[in-house]
A and B are shown apart, each in its own frame.
Chain A
Amino acid sequence: MTELSLTIIFIVGFLALVSTSQGVLLSRASLQGFLTYLAVPIVIGMAQMVVLCIGQMNLAVGAMGGVSTAIMATQMADHKVSIPVALLVGFLGATAMGAINGALVVLTQLNGFIITLGTMTILLGVQYRLVRTFTIDKYPTSLPDFGKKNIVGFPLILVIAIATSVVLSMYFSRTGSGRRVLATGGNALAARLSGVSNSRSVFIAHTLSGALVGVAAIITIASLPGINRSIGGDWMLSSFSAPIIGGVLMAGGTVAVYGTVIAAGVIRLVDIARAQYSLDPSIVSLTVGVVVLSTVALSEWRRRRTVRQNEGRKVLPA
């Protein structure tokens, strides 16, 4: 789906929900809630997007988030570490986990799927080890307060999420490093012949993915009352839907930052619709699954049509 159509769907959907809720949706509380809960899906969508754009994938997104938040929480609660330091440690931890994924993929030359399946399993064990069956919530209240802050009317954490997207977008469009990563995604052979290290691109993409999970972890711990072992449990599957619907698979060599953000927004709207109309959660899942499938099928069909058009005799303009 193009960015334009997604934006239209978002606006139309939002307005539809507003009107059918008789304006309740526009109330401070609901709007606040909507915007707040948009932050994490956007960032984990980014985390998956950066690997999808070069043909990799990260199944460990949820597990990495779980471990990262667990590290932060236990640091603060058990070891009385200050908030900024704890957050930094958790963030660096997530980045390191991403780097390990990247290194393993490069070293074993294997599919990112199976490598991250392995690391995901390990991390789930680590998460349990850290958190067990408890809910850790004994940390300074300045953290949740921070999580509830607003900037010019918008939740701070949403602003952080959007800012992250903007920075990411600029990384991919303006920096040599970012362009090299996309070159790998666009045409690995051409990239290699131009001096780009494809292995490095894969490594960078996975490390970035980890860093983004780290950001999501920071947002999560700031906005939830406590951390337990369920954190990150539903991240994995949903991290795929926003980027895929947002168009990251359309062509190698592009990221779809805007598309991913808007798609995350649309998926949130579907969630709200579900609550508003008391629909079953299963409907949401089912719909998302179908939409993901259709998006991919459509982009695949379009890609094949282009290939077919370029096949055969080349009748070119003189």
Chain B
Amino acid sequence: MLSLLTVALFIFFGLKNSAFFNADFVIYPLIRDAATLSVIGLAQLCALSIGHLNLAVGRMAAVSALAAGAAYQYLHVSLLLGLFMGLFVGASLGALTGWIIVKSQVNAFIVTLAMDFALLGFVTYIYVTFTGATTAFTTKPAGMEFWRNTSWHQYCVAGVCGPKIFPMMLVPAIIAIAVIGFIFSKTRLGRELLSTGSNLRAAKLSGIPVDRRVITAHLMSGLLAGLAGIMLAFTNGSFTAAIGSQFMLPSFLGPVLGGTLLAGGSVAVLGTFIGTLLTLIIRQGLSVQGIGLETLNIALGLVLLTALSLGQIQKMFTAIRMRGRT
């Protein structure tokens, strides 16, 4: 149903203003943004799967990007190696967060809030210290331009070329969606994570290593946040302290619209992508109309609240259905 809505809105905006269908200036960037924001949505999804929130997704993205950028600038590593280093940093931050949550038994909201605080200044500090006024790592590793600007049109098989509206940046997103979707729908790890989110006590009393799974979920969250951060850095062309500062809201919009439960135990991976796409369509659609940034925010906030209210109504019906039982 969400997909129908997405397609409907897509057509709607296009009909309203044909400039919306401009492949190079509207659609391509839209899908590219959707790629990055879906990944951050997946980062939040991993925390949501166990019923936790990760408020530090933006900063984790920033720190990972920082690590990758620094690696490119000072260690002159290859694109892939820098990427892995950045991802490693993100995963480590996530794992650390998860470990703190387990050991201190403090609410994830508070821990990630404090982590966000702590990382906030850290990022600026590093950038200023190392790069002075520019506050950016600008070294571009070989291959960055390719990921940044090209589309699937480059690849032709038997004379049929890929659509030029699909950016290369979509590839890491597709990989992430596929892997995360696979984990949660098919594997034991995914099952254990969702069980932990559905009923922590029952999970523990069924022999699931809940502490380890909490750490794993947060590790995954950090890793994906890192990926999103690096994807954004590639899109922008440089590694700055501002990366990730706008990630918080989209990280929730995608999963929530897509059907992931805030309470844990149920995730919708593909839905996260569609949800993200939907919000970006709304954003771009309104923007093409000439409607400013502010109305956008208003619209997005309203969309979030409406989606949540509808979700609650649906939950109420399910509860009534279940309530008849002792």
Contacts and interface: CB of A to CB of B under 8 A. Distances in A.
Contact of A300 (B53, B104, B301, B309): B104
B105 interface: yes
A318 interface: no
A284 interface: yes
Nearest to B315: A109
B120 A237 contact: yes
A1 interface: no
A163 interface: no
A115 B311 CA distance: 13
A282 B125 contact: yes
B36 to A, nearest CB: 19
A285 B104 contact: no
A96 B254 CA distance: 29
B297 A108 contact: no
B111 interface: yes
A252 B133 CA distance: 47
Given A114-B308, A300-B106, A122 B302 contact: yes
Interface in A22-73: 57
B298 A126 contact: yes
B308 A289 contact: no
Interface stretch (A5-13, A80-88, A290-298, A309-317): A290-298
B109 A113 contact: yes
A129 B252 contact: no
A284 B294 contact: no
B44 to A, nearest CB: 11
Contact of B122 (A109, A237, A285, A300): A285
A304 B105 CA distance: 9
Interface string B262-304: 1000000000000000000000000000001111111111101
Interface string A172-196: 0000000000000000000000000
Interface string A223-246: 000000000000001001100100
B81 interface: no
B80 interface: no
B208 interface: no
Contact of B100 (A115, A117, A293): A293
B121 interface: yes
Nearest to B124: A282
A226 to B, nearest CB: 19
A119 interface: yes
Given A281-B124, A286-B121, A122 B114 contact: no
B312 interface: yes
B40 interface: no
Contact of A117 (B117, B119, B252, B312): B252
A118 B297 CA distance: 9
Nearest to B310: A108
A109 B110 CA distance: 21
Given A121-B301, A290-B114, A128 B293 contact: yes
A30 B236 CA distance: 42
A113 B299 CA distance: 19
A152 to B, nearest CB: 36
A293 B293 contact: no
A57 B248 CA distance: 16
Interface string B109-152: 11101111111111111001100000000000000000000000
B249 A289 contact: no
B312 A286 contact: no
Given A108-B312, A280-B121, A297-B104, A125 B296 contact: yes
A118 B117 contact: no
A262 interface: no
A124 interface: yes
Q: Which bracket fits the contact residues of B? A: 35 or more
B256 interface: yes
Nearest to B304: A118
A290 B118 contact: yes
A135 interface: no
A120 interface: yes
A292 B298 contact: no
A111 B293 CA distance: 27
A114 B301 contact: no
A296 B107 CA distance: 9
B262 A283 contact: no
Nearest to A122: B301
A286 B122 contact: yes
A288 interface: yes
Contact of A119 (B292, B305, B312): B305
Contacts of B256: 114
A301 interface: yes
Among B104, B248, B252, B301, which residue has the most Cβ atoms of chain A within 10 A? B301
Contacts of B115: 289, 293
B297 to A, nearest CB: 3
B110 A296 contact: yes
A185 to B, nearest CB: 16
A284 B115 CA distance: 13
A108 B249 CA distance: 19
A4 interface: no
Contacts of A240: 113
B154 to A, nearest CB: 37
B298 A297 contact: no
5 contacts: A104-B305, A118-B302, A119-B305, A125-B299, A128-B294
The 8 closest A-B pairs by CB, nearest first: A282-B121, A125-B297, A285-B121, A289-B118, A122-B301, A289-B117, A282-B125, A121-B301
Interface of A: 57, 104, 107-111, 113-115, 117-129, 237, 240-241, 244, 280-286, 288-290, 292-293, 296-297, 300-301, 304
Given A118-B304, A121-B300, 10 more contacts: A114-B252, A117-B249, A117-B252, A122-B298, A123-B301, A282-B124, A283-B121, A286-B117, A289-B117, A296-B111
